[in-house]
């Protein structure tokens, strides 16, 4: 399973609906993937600045892009080669997340979108995009559900560490 954090950037993020919740849930998901040793790729749309802090502190693999869909970037395609299942997060739901998810389906990938880790400037745009994704066959879930689906069992060797991440009430800088 490969996590993709799409365009969580400083120029757009202040205008995003429920941005604090999106940041906290995305941070938890990134930390969980990191602890579990699963791949994470961040993208940055040109002209929107850097990935927001504290996510930028975790962004080891960043792809700059001009295409709204991550799949329109050769560098992104190189980074995800070999993986078949993806979890998408980021902004904006109705543009880059939606287009990436639909394009990934065309490539035959299994695609999950963590609804609590994505948003748009307008709530309405996010809601319509989520409905569209469901119609297209994309799996909609939440960060916590995805984390526990990966763990599968409380006997998992990383369970206690992951539990501490899930319980976080604010972002750790």
pTM (2 d.p.): 0.94
Q: What is the pLDDT of residues 45-104, one digit of tens each?
A: 998 999 989 999 888 889 999 999 999 999 999 999 899 999 999 999 999 999 999 999
Average pLDDT of the chain, as a whole number: 95
- Domain spans, the chain: 2-165
Cα–Cα distance measured from residue 88 to residue 97, given in angstroms and rounded to the nearest whole number: 7
For the domain covering 2-165, report its CATH number.
3.40.50.850
Please say whether the beta carbons of 58 and 149 come within 8 A: no
> E-strand spans in the chain?
2-6, 40-45, 62-65, 85-91, 110-119, 139-141
| Residue 103, both tokens | 């394009």
173 pLDDT more than 60: no
Q: What per-residue confidence (pLDDT) applies to 171?
A: 82
Q: How far apart, in whole angstroms, are the C-alpha atoms of residue 167 and residue 85?
A: 26
Mean pLDDT of 149-167: 93
């Amino acid at each position: 399973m490969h996590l993709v954090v799409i365009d969580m950037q400083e120029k757009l993020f202040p205008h995003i609906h429920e941005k604090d919740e999106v940041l906290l849930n995305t941070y938890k998901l990134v930390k969980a993937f990191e602890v579990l040793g699963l791949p994470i790729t961040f993208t940055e749309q040109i002209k929107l600045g850097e990935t927001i802090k504290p996510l930028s502190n975790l962004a080891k693999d960043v792809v700059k892009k001009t295409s709204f869909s991550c799949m329109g970037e050769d560098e992104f395609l190189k980074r995800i080669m070999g993986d078949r299942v993806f979890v998408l997060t980021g902004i904006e739901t109705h543009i880059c997340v939606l287009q990436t998810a639909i394009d990934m389906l065309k490539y035959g990938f299994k695609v999950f979108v963590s609804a609590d880790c994505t948003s748009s400037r307008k709530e309405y745009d996010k809601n319509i995009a989520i409905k569209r994704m469901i119609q297209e066959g994309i799996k909609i879930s939440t960060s916590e559900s995805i984390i526990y689906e990966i763990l599968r069992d409380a006997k998992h060797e990383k369970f206690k560490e992951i539990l501490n991440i899930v319980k976080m009430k604010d972002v750790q800088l």
